[in-house]
Amino acid sequence: MATTIVKKLLACLLISASQPALADIFAAFRFEDGDTNWQYVANTTGTVLIIALSYTLVRLFLNIRKAGRYNRELEEIRGQLEDRVRTRTATLDESNRQLKKNHAVLESEISKHQATAERLQQSESYITSIMQSMPLMLIGLDREGSITQWNTRAEEVSGLQEPEVLGKKIWQAYPSITVTPEQIDEAITNDCTLTVKHSQRGAYHFDITIYPLIDQPEPGVVVLIDDVTQRVTAENMLIERDKMSSMGELAGSLAHDVSTPVNAMLMDIREVQSRIAKLECETATDPAPMLEDALLRGEQVSRVISNLLEFSSLQAGEMKLADIPDVVDHSLELATAALTSSSGLQFRDVDIETSYEEGLPPIPCHETELQQVLLSLLRHCVNALGEIEREGFVPKVTLQVSQFYDALWLKVQHNGRGLSLQEQQALFEPFFADSRDVSGDDYDASRRLSYPYFIITEQHRGQLAVTSDINDGTTFHIELQLA
């Protein structure tokens, strides 16, 4: 700015010097003779220029200082901006890293969720396939008895399609079902599984299981209905076959046991008739004892025949309370009358020892079938005893009945030939056989214990086990629940 002023002043001086009309401006610098004092003009001009330059320099210095201050402030501002930019950049970089990390985690979670969703879909499809493929009727019910599940087997048996019955009361949609509202309420309230058997003799047999759902927001039950008609029919055929195989052995002994009291009874009756015919009643011995003996013999025959008819009954009927010691005694009576080993040893020649704990409670059971189990075990015993031929051997069978907690334990033990480990493992399997030379019928009737095992484990929900030593004999263990 000062440089511009000086330039303008010099220009004015030059213009004044070059134009005479403007020469009066230097009048102050002229002498009296009219000559101009150029020296003075030069000095004055130089002084003015110096002052102007000094002012310019001062202003320039001040401006430089001001510019430096401004530069420093700008540098500070720039530094602050750079720090902010660096901080912001670092923050953005960290945010980008976190975003990338979160993105990777999100992608992983999405992949896991997709895999989980696929597995859930596969599991749901698999469970649905299991439900639809079950050979049992599967019906899902809520607490009020409304149908929530209805599988393919239920459709086949009932003739009702799933869309027709869903949401309806089971007793309205399928009135012939034997499940009651009380049973459903009991299963849910007591959180227990109920088993119901429903049979129409000669037509069908159903096993019905009702169990509550677990960990569900709404309580409900699942009803499984198993059509066991063919199984029951096969079981009854097996019962009949086993009884018929036993009847063959019973027939020979029973013929002798029945004929003995009948012949004695007939002899007594003939003697009484003869004495009456000869009118010797007044002098002869009183015939009352002979008539009494004939009556006892007749009762003995009647009892043997009743036992045989009861034993040959096919249907077990409903479970009834029975005293196990009485069942054991009755079975021993039948065995004494019927059992003979293949070697000729008769059961009546065996030393029998019984031990019954006092105060034993009666238990629910099929009495005739338990007798059949005991007869099968006793037949096994007498056959094992008949295989011992050493001198001085006394065949012996011991039967013990005792109570242990909530079960009755029955032990049948003999001191005859024991069973090998292989025989013990296969004893309760159907149609058990070994390498010994025994005919099929005799061996099947005297050795096979698959049906007694079935009666104890399936029909009475008990246990049947065997322990044996080849030299010391065999013990059969039967556990029967009190309730």
User: Residues 270, 304: one domain?
Assistant: yes
User: Residues 385, 348: one domain?
Assistant: yes
Mean per-residue pLDDT for 189-195?
85
For residue 36, the surrounding DSSP H or E stretch is none
Q: What is the pLDDT of residue 12?
A: 53
Strands (E), 29-177: 137-142, 147-150
Q: Domain range for residue 482?
A: 317-483
Cα-to-chain-centroid distance, residue 285: 79
Q: How crowded is residue 277: how many other Cβ atoms within 10 Å of its Cβ?
A: 8
Alpha helices in 19-37 (DSSP H): none
Boundary residue ending a domain (126, 147, 181): 126
If you average pLDDT over every residue of the chain, what do you get? 77
User: Residues 253, 282: one domain?
Assistant: yes
Q: Pick from 149, 154, 123, 121: which is nearest to 136 by CA?
A: 154
Q: How crowded is residue 192: how many other Cβ atoms within 10 Å of its Cβ?
A: 11
CATH of residue 207: 3.30.450.20
In angstroms, the CA 447 to CA 428 distance is: 10
Whether residue 152 contacts residue 133, with contact meaning beta carbons closer than 8 Å, is answered with yes
Domains: count for the chain: 4
Whether residue 340 contacts residue 382, with contact meaning beta carbons closer than 8 Å, is answered with yes
In angstroms, the CA 2 to CA 53 distance is: 7
CATH of residue 379: 3.30.565.10
User: Residues 245, 302: one domain?
Assistant: yes
User: Residues 333, 417: one domain?
Assistant: yes
User: Residues 220, 235: one domain?
Assistant: no
In angstroms, the CA 343 to CA 349 distance is: 13
Cα-to-chain-centroid distance, residue 76: 77
User: Residues 385, 342: one domain?
Assistant: yes
User: Residues 187, 255: one domain?
Assistant: no
Distances (CA, A) of 37 to 41, 43, 77, 324: 6, 10, 58, 166
Q: Which residue has the higher pLDDT, 152 or 431?
A: 152
User: Residues 144, 188: one domain?
Assistant: yes
268 burial type by CB count under 10 A (0-12 exposed, 13-18 middle, 19+ buried): buried
Q: What is the pLDDT of residue 443?
A: 37
* pTM score over 0.85: no
Q: Give tens-digit pLDDT for 54-79.
A: 888 888 888 888 888 888 888 888 88
User: Residues 275, 334: one domain?
Assistant: no
User: Residues 337, 404: one domain?
Assistant: yes
User: Residues 339, 457: one domain?
Assistant: yes
Q: At 404, is the secondary structure helix, strand, or coil?
A: strand
Boundary residue ending a domain (96, 126, 156): 126
Q: Does 441 score more than 50 pLDDT? A: no
In angstroms, the CA 180 to CA 171 distance is: 8
For residue 190, the surrounding DSSP H or E stretch is none
